[in-house]
Homo-oligomer: A and B are copies of this chain.
């Protein structure tokens, strides 16, 4: 698989539809991202965790609140239990490291308790969002850093499927919840991951105000075909994006337990007002 930017863009957008981008080694690395679901049984280089955390902490954080924490899981038995809880994702067990990104107001809560101070704002949806988003910015920096070391990653949103059990497994106190996981390990070259095509830029980009493109339906049909071709090339069951996206959101049941996170987060003292 070639790593030249034009080739990467063709893989990302399908041939003939690539945007012209400014090229440098960092941008090339970002364009080359693929989610890795098959890992070698090979330990990580010494200092990997500290490096990924330093990259993560270098991301922006709202009002410097730093309302997130990182939980590193390497114990095979714990990873096996978490793999089961996350809908039997075998790569969680296979990867040497599972990073769990935590939204975390408990640190500031402990500080405030020492001073007898209230923290009324923590009860609001916006604060929940601030902590969750900051965890995401941090995680993405860590993912980019991991890939720069020749490692692969995949996000595990399914850590929210059975949120209660994951919270218990990780012994998370009130005001802490797992936003998602991130597997880290050396990609198995026997099962190479591919760059997944995305929607064309003209459907995602709006200028000045939000305007639905009059050619949206046709552009999505083209993308459906590009994605179906991609799945076929990968030896996967062919599916088009429209059907997949609708299927994923059609019924409450397709949330696989995540329909309950609002209730569970309230028990975790996120009031979400």
Contact = CB atoms under 8 A, between A and B. Distances in A.
Contacts of A114: 217
* Copies per assembly: 2
A220 to B, nearest CB: 7
A12 interface: yes
A199 interface: yes
A173 interface: yes
A212 B206 CA distance: 45
A119 B250 contact: yes
A160 B129 CA distance: 11
B250 A154 contact: no
A160 B127 CA distance: 11
A4 interface: no
Nearest to A179: B133
A211 B173 CA distance: 9
A72 interface: yes
A112 B259 contact: no
A111 interface: yes
Chain A contact residues, majority secondary structure: helix
A235 to B, nearest CB: 17
Contact of A64 (B32, B66, B196): B196
Nearest to A112: B246
Given A30-B144, A250-B117, A272-B272, A172 B210 contact: yes
Interface in A106-149: 106-108, 110-112, 114-115, 117-122, 124-127, 129-130, 132-133, 136-137, 139-141, 143-145, 148-149
23 contacts: A12-B58, A20-B47, A22-B45, A27-B51, A33-B58, A53-B204, A62-B155, A63-B244, A65-B245, A66-B198, A66-B204, A69-B206, A70-B206, A71-B210, A72-B206, A73-B208, A112-B250, A115-B242, A121-B252, A122-B249, A169-B209, A173-B212, A272-B272
